[in-house]
Structure formats: structure tokens, C-alpha cells
Structure 1
Amino acid sequence: MSSSKASSPPALHSNLEPVPVSGCLICGAAARHREAIRPLGNTVGVHNMNGIIRQHPHRVTDGEGVAA
């Protein structure tokens, strides 16, 4: 007997954060802001910046910088 489960995204540990995409202005700004507010103890702000880095769209390229 096999059970069928809905797939869900893998759980991320709280100490793992998204890495900004090199050359992306949005990622860069969010990462700089995240590092500026982290020492202030603003965990909600850090979480929000992680969401921006993780979820905003990036254009897919063919490896040579040309949008595919």
C-alpha cells in the first residue's frame, strides 16, 4: 500500500539565508539593508529582506547574459 502525500518545499533552518544574486540591484540593496538592521535586533526586518532576496524575479539567461 502506498500513500500519496502532497509535496512541500524543503524546510529551511533559521540560520540559512538566501544569497544575493551577483549584479542584481534589488538583491544588493536588500542584502545591505539586512546587514544594517541585523545588529539592531530587527529580526522581522531581516526576515523581510530575506524574503525579498529569495522571491523577487530574476531573468533567466542562456549563460552569456542573454535573456532566454
Structure 2
Amino acid sequence: MRVIITDHAKKRLKDYRQDRITVADIIHAVNQIPGHVPTATRFRGFISKSGRVFDVVAKDIPNGRLVITIIGK
């Protein structure tokens, strides 16, 4: 599945709470979400390769899965 990361989500990766979370971590996490996500939904408890826990808000669009934002813990 194609993963599209919004500019807002990419910008949040530079914030302190999302430190050490990479785009590859996000793509891996989003690809683990099963089924179809018709509305923006928060998925909790993903772990980056660096060990940082984060949540993802995503939804499915015709072009793929849209990552709206990232929330670091």
C-alpha cells in the first residue's frame, strides 16, 4: 500500500517529542494497520527502531494511506 505523509507530519518529526522517529518507522507502522480506515483514526503504541513509542493518525484515501500526524510519547 502506498503511504503518503503530510507536510504537517514531516514537520512534527523535527519536534522534541518525535525525536528519533524516522519516515521509515512511520511507513513500517502504517503498513501494520490492517483493513480499511475510512475516517481519520488514531492508532497507538508503535515503537521506532530507536525505541521511541509513538501514535499515528491515518486514514485511507483513493491514492493510498494518508498519515495526518505523528504523536511521540
TM-score tier, shorter chain, comes to under 0.3
Work out which structure has the larger RCO, using CA pairs closer than 8 Å and 6 or more positions apart in sequence. 2
Whose strand proportion is higher, 1 or 2?
2
**TM norm structure 2:** 0.25
Whichever structure has more helix as a proportion of its residues is 1
TM-score of the superposed pair, with normalisation by structure 1: 0.26
Give the structure with higher Rg (CA): 1
